[in-house]
Amino acid sequence: MKNNYGDIITTQLDNFVVQCEISRPPSNFFDFELIKDLADCFDDLDKSTDCRSIVLCSEGKHFCAGANFGRSNSIIQQSADSPNPIYTEAIRLFSCKKPVIAAVQGAAVGGGFGLALMADFRIVSPGTRMTANFLKLGFTPGFGLTHTLPRLIGIQKANLLFMTGRRIKGETAYEWGLGDVFAEDDKLREEAINLATEIATSAPLALLSLREQMRPGLAEAIKSATDIEGKEQFYLQKTEDHKEGIQSVAERRPGNFIGR
């Protein structure tokens, strides 16, 4: 297994735990290359007998502050009927056979929030911030969030986060079940490794079997969700509201939306 996959740095830890660190500090914005590199990394870890659980973490202030709209290939869907290549790679992430524990420091925004929910478990802290702010950008949720978020916290709370774009703190994330362990900011990654180690002590074949039973058809469900998400995003990205949403978020002000 390689040590580096682009901006993904892997480290073999003790007790069959592998750490995968996103190295685009401070905000760790994602684009197609990052998600593809992470999917390639997970594919290799699936084949590795030295890996029984994965810690997904990030270098810098934030776990993942969302898509990098400053790069032309961040949103590269070519037509309403063709899949967004980013989501094709995301489906590969959801197909990973090994348990994933995410250490969510700082912000998990938009697609970065979706990336955090791809994991089996999330470690959160007082500094954690989660938001599905897609409507504030003038388009709809992606990265499978329309499937994963209500699956975790129910339709009502998911709609509340989607429709308001509200940002929740680590304490609320833990109370609602988006976080599985609440740790101090400086202990967040340590607690993620501790949980990954505890999981990795289980019999590996039984662990893989259980995980498959507990996530039946998940990758297929994510494909169905992202097919719809991608099509809706494709149309909405052509609107004036989307342009205004991108600008208003960059300028840290409310959007002046006009409905076209």
Query: Would you write out the chain's pLDDT as a tens digit for each of its 260 residues?
Result: 668 999 999 999 999 999 999 999 999 999 999 999 999 999 999 999 999 999 999 999 999 999 886 654 555 566 777 889 999 999 999 999 999 999 999 999 999 999 999 999 999 999 999 999 999 999 999 999 999 999 999 999 999 999 999 999 999 999 999 999 999 999 999 999 999 999 999 999 999 999 999 999 999 999 999 999 999 999 999 999 999 999 998 898 999 999 99
- Residue corresponding to tokens 């469900």: 221
pTM, two decimals, is 0.94
Distances (CA, A) of 60 to 21, 29, 48, 230, 243: 10, 11, 28, 29, 29
Structure tokens at 202: 């289980």
Strand order of the β-sheet with 53-58 is: 4-5, 8-12, 17-22, 53-58, 100-103, 121-124, 181-182
Topology at the third CATH level for domain 4-185: 2-enoyl-CoA Hydratase; Chain A, domain 1 (3.90.226)
